[in-house]
Structure 1
Amino acid sequence: MALTLASAAALLGKHHLLREIIRGDVWTLDPNRLGDAADAPVTDVTYDTRTVSEGSLLFCKGNFKAEYLDGVDEKGLAVYVAETDFSSATKAPGLIVDDVRRAMSLLSAEFFGRPQDELTVVGITGTKGKTTTAYFTQAILNAASDGKAALFSSVDNCLDGRTYAESDLTTPESLDAFRMMRTAADNGMKYLVMEVSSQAYKVDRVYGLTFDVGAFLNISPDHISPIEHPSFEDYLDCKRQITYNSRKLVLGADCAHADLIREDAAAAGVPVATFALHNDGRGVGTPADTVAWPADAAHAQYRLASDGVELGDFRLSMDGDFNYANAAAAVTIAHAAGVELDDAKALHALEAVTVAGRMERFEDPQSNTVAIVDYAHNFASVTALIDFVYERYGDRDPRITLVTGSAGDKAFDRRKEIVEAAEHRIANFVFTAEDTNTEPFIDICMEMQGYITDPNVASTVISDRSTAITNAVYDARAHADHFNVLLLIGKGNERWIKDRNRHVPYEGDDRVVERLFGLNQK
């Protein structure tokens, strides 16, 4: 059924969002008072006035100003949705609502024919591991369904099970998400796996969306700033919303505040399945439905078991014990989504998965040096990354250099926490550019350098990121009597650096390393 002003008003009223409908001097709750306009089909939905066309419904979100509506009547604007009356700027009727973002999510889903009802939708949240777990889960579901699993991630979006396009946000704006869901459903997809950020709940990008399977991987302080979350409690509260908006929940058994999340699930009547990473297969560790543990002393492969039944040995293409925890999460999620645990082909599909910018390892043929490109960007992920280095290379007494920066204008705690996670375990910091909004790179780098308390760790500030990585490589080659590990974190495979609200082209950490090491570039 086509979306109309009348059906939009009815839906908003049902969710207690509609305040009134305004057109000129008419203020009403009854769209029929607007005559034929009430039943005219909406031809498109948008939040960008530049894309308004005949029959469009426009969402006036954010810091919207009346002057943005100049010329929309001539373009054929049919109706706008806003928290403010803009009748002085347009002749189109306005649906005045309490919360335009919530209204946008509900109406977008309706305009695109509720594509979520045609898909098994998986939502994955957590402080770390969301992206890798999403890719692992998609691989299993794709193998089980002959390539019918779509993906929304912070790296790529995939709407046909095989073609990947770079994404802009961890969780898309609701209108964009439902448009892509419609495309995925029309492409014959059976599943959709999507990352769900805390901001997705904070700003209602997934309002009204119920996940068939929700996953809560882990939680640790992050994204605390005036423009993100004012406190850890607020951050956790936003993450917890996935429990109340899922039909089944997959939970990291070792997750901080797991007891609270179990209480959420019990209150919502949502069944819970758990996963965990153990040290061995003798049941040592937090009890969980699905567990992973090392199958050999080198941690080169892991064994998985679910519901007490061993699923076999797995050798991932991605390094790090934490990725076997992510694999255990993915197996648990896929099983909750309907994949049978005896489908060995489907489960082993995760072994071939690689994620650009996540635990990508490069060896320098000119020196005894390994470089790892990863998206680690907070205390928990930096700690896990350095743990991996010592687990894999500890017997070689690695000399570790960390090339890092931190985001501007947000997540201020990260700057100190990255230093605290690393300073007593590495030889050298190189502080450099990462994404910012208004803060100069050099100011963030100098602030981070100021948090160093260990007199035995060296540090350098080089604001140009390519130069910083080059310096780290040359420094490693100058210390050829050591085994050197370069950790290049925070940017992954991104081909830009955000500077003063502009995306400035950047070669990419991986490509800089490939060039300096003389490797075949991708």
Structure 2
Amino acid sequence: MRLLDVMNEVEFTFNKHWDEIKNIEIKDIAYNSSKCEDGYIFVAIKGETVDGHKYAKNAYKRGNRVFILQDDIELAEDAIKLFVEDSRIALSKMSSNYFGNPSKDLKVIGVTGTKGKTTITNYISSVLNKAGLNTGVIGTNGTFYNGIKEKTLNTTPESYELHRIFKTMLDNGVKCVSMEVSSGGIMMERVKDVDFDIAIFSNLSPDHIGPKEHPTFEHYLECKARLFKLAKHGIINIDDKYANQIIEKATCDIETFSIENNSDMKALNIEYSRAIDSLGVSFDVKTKNEEFNAYICAPGTFSIYNALAVISVCRYLNIEKDIMIEALKSAKVKGRVEVLPVLDYATIIVDYAHNGVSLESILQTLKKYDHNRLICLFGSVGGRTELRRKELGEVASRECDLCILTSDNPDFEDPMNVIKDIADAFKGSNCDYIVEPDRKVAVEKAIEIAREGDMIVFAGKGHEESQLIKGEWIPFSETEIAINAAKKLMENKSEKKLS
């Protein structure tokens, strides 16, 4: 591809004569110098901790001769320097150009918010695929399409990776993409040149605020709102207290959904249900023109909000109502309020809740279902903020009957340090707790102590299949451990009955 075609609509200056660059052919784009070779463009990205300009000479040594730079740096005489105001913005447009602007040929649905992004994107994919619209997913759990899975480093991949994924999906028959759009992804211009058909706002609460993330909550909100300047159509949870601020900043047309406030689509007559392999909720959906019943195989108010977002998408895309309702009934997401049918006398749930807000949401939801004891097994990430540990402890000690405090990606920190910080929040609480730093042993202990009617939540790991210990990711499947522990327990009980 010609360099000038890659740079289409990118403003730049350069250090060579026009005749020297106008016919240059480009093999590919790289923003990591180790991936460079002859015929590539190296884009020097300025990050929070790493400045790509420092690696330009390494890219040159690997054969790279064309450089996208924000600052002038010393390079060999034959290096071609193209100067841009912001290399992240340049990378976004260049990547879209290089892959043929694939998002324009896809129906792209972007989901943003503090909670619910993963669940909503996966529900959308599940329902649309069952309705016959080939839909891929990009998000926290990775990239999925046509039975193919690819890991992603970030919830919202870097712009080059994003447009590469779009192109690959398009080439494989995908028609629609449901993707998580993180505030960080928006802030770092990863989605600037994505042609969004639909943008969804789920909710907003303080998160990702710190030196390497958003400086203030206002900045966090502003980044979320930017998605609604990139999309053609917006779908917004009007019950959220920040919804109107998102709407005020939007440039697309907006429709709303709710449980409490007036909206374009409202859930009424909510009823909770419980089975050995699921916790669900049914509700009536009321719009200006019709009313119908829907069911989602997940518990609580937040599941209704997630379902309303999916229904809004389906209606906008003209999916047949009966197909949508039937598909929604079986929509599930691994590690998100996932019920493991391993004990017939207790409910075992795996969930990704790893901060105070999300843990409180799931625990308060579960309390709406009949139960004996509510037990929560959880920890907190090592080497991170102590505030999260305090919040988790405060929520769990207030909402639960018993807790098992354990590890959760301790990395280089002693798990007992983390547990101690969490345990401090239990002082003066009526909630008892057990300390077991080995998470595998902790899960087995939870299965062992389960009684008739108990609800036990394994919080924090969710879909994850590993534990970060001393800088190394160790294979760890909480689901598999729970299944094996329950199987062993039931076998032992059977043996005792026979003896």
TM-score range, shorter chain: 0.7 to 0.9
Shift of residue 175, structure 1, vs aligned partner: 0.7
Q: For 2:327 and 2:363, locate their aligned partners in 1 and report how far apart those are by CA, in whole Å.
A: 27
Distance verdict in 2 for CA 1:109–1:376, change over 3 Å? same
Shift of 1:273: 0.8
Paired amino acid for 1:125: T
Task: Kindly report which structure 2 residues correspond to 1:44-193, keeping only aligned pairs within 5 A, or say none.
Answer: 44-61=28-45, 62=47, 63-64=50-51, 68-69=55-56, 72-73=59-60, 75-88=62-75, 91-144=78-131, 146-160=132-146, 162-193=147-178
**Cα distance 1:339–1:440, how it changes in 2: closer, same or farther (>3 A)?**
farther
Partner residue in 2 for 1:212: 197
CA contact (8 A) 1:225 1:411 kept: no
Determine if the alignment matches structure 1 residue 274 to structure 2 residue 260: no
Root-mean-square deviation (CA), in Å?
A: 2.7
Distance 1:215 1:90, change over 3 A: farther
Task: Kindly indicate whether the alpha-carbon contact (under 8 Å) linking 1:154 and 1:167 is maintained by their aligned counterparts in 2.
Answer: yes
- Code of the residue aligned with 2:322 in structure 1: it is A
For 1:11, the aligned partner's letter is E
Which residue pairs with 1:290 in the alignment?
265
SS at match of 2:114: coil
| 2: CA distance, partners of 1:310 / 1:505 | 51
Q: 1:357-506 alignment to 2 at 5 Å?
A: 357-365=335-343, 368-393=345-370, 396=371, 398-410=372-384, 413-435=387-409, 439-474=413-448, 476-477=449-450, 480=451, 483-500=453-470, 502-506=471-475
**Counterpart residue type for residue 518 of structure 1:** K
TM-superposition CA deviations, 1:138-158 (whole Å, max 9, x none): 2232234x2421211211312
- Partner of 2:236, secondary structure, is strand
Kept in 2: contact 1:220–1:256 (CA 8 A): no
Q: Distance in 1 between matches of 2:282 and 2:465?
A: 33
Alignment of 1:293-304 (within 5 A): 293-294=268-269, 296=271, 298=273, 300-304=280-284
CA spacing shift, 1:258–1:66, aligned 2, 3 Å: closer
Note if 1:21 corresponds to 2:7. Answer: no
State how far apart, in whole Å, the 2-side matches of 1:356 and 1:433 are: 21
Q: Is residue 507 from structure 1 mapped to residue 476 from structure 2 by the alignment?
A: yes
Aligned partner of 2:482: which letter? V
Query: Aligned letter for 1:223?
Result: H
| Residues 244-283 of structure 1: pairs in structure 2 closer than 5 A | 244-265=229-250, 268=251, 270-277=252-259
| Cα distance in structure 2, aligned partners of 1:325 and 1:516 | 34
User: 2 CA distance for matches of 1:503 and 1:335?
Assistant: 45
Hey, what does 2:318 align to over in structure 1?
339
TM-score by length of 2: 0.88
d(CA) in 2 for partners of 1:373, 1:297: 19
Shift of 1:488: 0.8
For 1:207 and 1:400, locate their aligned partners in 2 and report how far apart those are by CA, in whole Å.
44
Q: Is the 8 A contact 1:126 1:218 kept in 2?
A: yes
Is 1:199 paired with 2:163?
no
Query: What letter matches 1:121 in structure 2?
Result: V
Return closer, same or farther for 1:94/1:471 CA change in 2, 3 Å cut-off: farther
The match for 1:281 is none
Q: 1:74 to 1:333 in 2, by over 3 A?
A: same
Residue 75 of structure 1 deviates from its aligned partner by 4.0
CA shift at 1:230, angstroms?
Answer: 2.9
Counterpart in the other structure of 2:332: 354
Percent pairwise identity = 25
SS at match of 1:218: coil
- CA distances 1:198-253 after superposition (whole Å, capped 9, x unpaired): 11112222123342110111111222232222332222222121122221110002
Measured in 2, the distance between the counterparts of 1:305 and 1:412 equals 42
2 CA distance for matches of 1:181 and 1:519?
45
Q: Which amino acid aligns with 1:54?
A: D
CA distance in 1, matches of 2:272, 2:52: 62
Residue of structure 1 equivalent to 2:287: 307
Where does the alignment leave 5 or more consecutive residues of structure 2 unmatched?
275-279, 490-499
Change over 3 Å in CA distance of 1:71–1:362 after alignment to 2: closer
Shift of 1:346: 3.3
1:158 corresponds to which letter in structure 2? F
Quick one: distance in 2 between partners of 1:437 and 1:91?
45
Could you say what secondary structure the match of 1:466 adopts? helix
Alignment TM-score, normalising by the size of structure 1: 0.84
CA deviation map 1:379-413 (0-9, x unaligned): 332122112221112xx3x3222222223455654
Letter in 2 for 1:380: V
Structure 1 residue identity aligned to 2:253 = P
- Give the letter aligned to residue 120 of structure 1: K
Describe the SS at the equivalent of 2:155: coil
Q: Tell me, in whole angstroms, the C-alpha distance in 2 between the residues paired with 1:413 and 1:147.
A: 43
Q: Which residue of 286, 293, 305 maps to 1:325?
A: 305
The answer to whether the Cα contact below 8 Å between 1:224 and 1:412 also exists between their aligned partners in 2 is: no
Matched to 1:290, the amino acid is M
How has the CA–CA distance of structure 1 residues 503 and 308 changed in structure 2, closer, same or farther, with 3 Å as cutoff? farther
How far residue 298 of structure 1 moved from its aligned partner, in angstroms, is: 4.0
Contact conserved, 1:66 with 1:89, CA < 8 A, in 2? no
Task: Please list the CA deviations of residues 349-370 of structure 1 after superposition, one character each: whole Å capped at 9, or x if unmatched.
Answer: 12222211111112454x8432
